[in-house]
Structure 1
């Protein structure tokens, strides 16, 4: 059981940092091969495990230097049954991998010794391609599928389960129901296209409100990930009441569309300094935003840029 299952500290008003684009960092910056973007496959590779541990630790120590809380997503975005089949792994191997990924974060938490809260999140990815809606599951099918990881995390040190890159509401609702059935708080992070809508075409605000209304238990909060700030700023400027449910951003470094990123052979890491300013501007626009990190193309530099700007604001306040 996690330390904060019943009282998530990130629900207060303090800033929390989270990590960046683990998979793109490991592939493009550190030279590892990740079939299907499955970072958990490195856990049994000594060099890979050391790289993952170092990645987690450097982000945690950044939060420590800046005096922010920290949330780390376990390397389990692809550690679910359908992706396991593609990777040639049975369910027993996946159970072990999910548990081991949390254990690795526990090690880093103990070493980092933050004075602020260090929250461990069991990370869940979409059943299919995060960039495309594809064949939609029913809510019941999604609950059944995502219960596999939710139930595993409920018996580890994970404080919550977070679904990243959700692109349709039936899957998001099913995930929320799976988390509730496992007795775990959850967060849902939607991805959007360059028009600020989900890949399914649904407006972001409508997706959040529908999930809140239909889920057996409301998620603790929502986030946006795997899109550049310019893709969704106009949506956030509309000032709708659902914005109060939005807590976090894990934006892409690149301004490219998902289709363009799918075809890219080189990493577009954007401009870290500009990235930091864009995230800070969104924080001013939506005061409920308190969780900041990165997604594809980002690394420690991008989170450092966010922390530097938000740290200045913290001192002024």
Structure 2
């Protein structure tokens, strides 16, 4: 916990990085290719991505392992490389950040529904997350970030798996929509009540439909537990097509303005999710550090 906790000294808010997938696509990741494969096949691109965010002012970078569980990697015939992919992802991020910042080992949803809605058992999910977290820890991650969760059962499985695998701080962020709930109907206050007592280092929201939706979720979480450490990593708005390209509507200037609103809502870690770029993070870092 020490490196994570010590990082707050001298910083009222830690700045996390921006998007991974959309940035790797800009760098040439072929459509339909698992981003995680580039940890082995194109490590230079991964280092370049992390460096761009560090240079923009990020204190934290996430490993390129959002879909890095064995369950998710199996869809791309990469399941047998799960340990190598996750360990190498953490090593690449650590090589860039050195001792100048934090590496969050990123774990996203498995993509499967847990019983009774689906066929994946709670125990199978725990095993998959534990395997991933162990490899991320071995590669040098400072904390495990469980993100874009919708189902409390899957979030619990990921927390249990991470805690079985290592003693790193564990953070959970869920994705909320315009109705103030996750896709599985979970309210921000319910997530706080159910997950925070499990020994988390931070909790919050990421992705979502808009900055406004994620801000509302963070405000509800803060109200439910004012002492909890909160993290937000919202999308740069919604994507749309322009001249044959997918673009996101939120500019760096707008995201920086919202970063200050999140600060007022009690956030301690702020970054960007889908569509956000190093320019967004640079604007956010400048705004937050100017505000003090």
Structure 2 length normalisation: TM-score? 0.86
Matched with 1:9 is 6
Given candidates 49, 53, 58, the residue that maps to 2:47 is 53
SS, match of residue 198 in structure 1: coil
The answer to whether residue 27 in structure 2 is matched with residue 30 in structure 1 is: yes
Q: Kindly report which structure 2 residues correspond to 1:1-317, keeping only aligned pairs within 5 A, or say none.
A: 8-10=5-7, 14-27=12-25, 29-33=26-30, 35=32, 38-45=34-41, 48-63=42-57, 70-91=59-80, 93-110=81-98, 114=100, 118-128=101-111, 135=118, 139-182=122-165, 183-213=167-197, 215=198, 218-227=199-208, 228-238=210-220, 240-255=223-238, 266-284=246-264, 286-287=265-266, 289-314=267-292
Query: Displacement of 1:6 after TM fit?
Result: 6.8
Query: Displacement of 1:188 after TM fit?
Result: 0.5
Query: Displacement of 1:146 after TM fit?
Result: 0.9
CA distance change for structure 1 residues 236 and 20 in 2, over 3 Å: closer, same or farther?
closer
For 1:100 and 1:34, how far apart are their aligned partners in 2?
22
Gaps of 5+ in 1: 64-68
CA contact (8 A) 1:292 1:303 kept: no
CA distance change for structure 1 residues 106 and 18 in 2, over 3 Å: closer, same or farther?
same
CA contact (8 A) 1:84 1:94 kept: yes
Which deviations, in whole Å up to 9, do the C-alpha atoms of 1:211-242 show, x marking residues without a partner? Answer: 234x3xx1111121102221133344455232
Which deviates more, 265-274 or 78-87? 265-274
SS, match of residue 279 in structure 1: helix
CA contact (8 A) 1:5 1:185 kept: no
Q: How many residues align?
A: 283
CA distance change for structure 1 residues 279 and 188 in 2, over 3 Å: closer, same or farther?
same
SS, match of residue 127 in structure 2: helix
Matched with 1:66 is none
CA distance change for structure 1 residues 72 and 174 in 2, over 3 Å: closer, same or farther?
same
CA distance change for structure 1 residues 276 and 44 in 2, over 3 Å: closer, same or farther?
same
CA contact (8 A) 1:121 1:160 kept: yes
User: Could you say what the CA RMSD is over the residues aligned between the two structures, in angstroms?
Assistant: 2.6
For 2:94 and 2:3, how far apart are their aligned partners in 1?
18
CA distance change for structure 1 residues 185 and 139 in 2, over 3 Å: closer, same or farther?
farther
CA contact (8 A) 1:137 1:170 kept: no
For 1:169 and 1:265, how far apart are their aligned partners in 2?
35
Gaps of 5+ in 2: none
For 1:7 and 1:303, how far apart are their aligned partners in 2?
20
